[in-house]
Amino acid sequence: MQIRELSIPDTYEITPRQHQDDRGLFFEFYRFDRLEEVVGHSLDLKQANTSVSRKGSVRGIHFADIPPSQAKYVTAPHGAVLDFVVDIRVGSPTFGQWDSVLLDDTDRRAIYVAEGVGHCFVALTDGATVSYLVTDVYNPTREHGINPLDEQIALEFPVPADELLLSPKDTDAPGLAEAAESGLLPSWDAARAFYASLDNK
């Protein structure tokens, strides 16, 4: 597999090598050792989630408190989504910026999102299925969101605005500036310290 760091620090695109014959195909969608080489530590996976979405559905921007937050390894086994990583770590050199990766059932890429980085995607097909391997169990008291339509972040959705489907939870979430002013966001220093603690284990 090929692993490429995105423009947001601590996020990576993973492209597997697919082996095809007359029976179909085979590929490794996750290798702890290859990811550990670039991340600096192995992932202590604790939960796996799956969502199925209609075309135009937006999920995110979501994140969890550090520590321990949740690192995510995300794939799309069926259909296609445009997956976004958003740097919401206050003090980061790329704070407020984002990058994206097309996840689909053709190239079968995955994306790694470190703890404290915002995550969002928009479904490009009906029945788009997204699977997440995560490093901590869901804890609603520590989970937060930022409005994915926030103009300061300005995510570029390849779906017409009138076709986007969002939950009230996401549309009611604060924008980036409001979240920062309220102290809701993780800091760059806290994130770096937490990553270093994982590297030393």
Catalytic residues: 62, 132
Q: Which residues touch 197 (CB under 8 Å, ≥6 apart)? A: 67
Where does the chain show beta strands of DSSP type E?
A: 2-5, 11-15, 19-21, 24-26, 47-53, 58-64, 72-78, 80-86, 98-104, 110-113, 118-123, 128-134, 143-145
3-class secondary structure per residue, 112-147: EECCCCEEEEEECCCCEEEEEEECCCCCCCCEEECC
Pairwise CA distance, residues 165 & 146, whole Å: 16
Q: Note whether 84 and 155 are within 8 A (CB).
A: yes
Contacts of 113 (CB under 8 A, 6+ apart): 11, 71, 72, 73, 74, 85, 119
Q: Quote the tokens at residue 179.
A: 């979240």
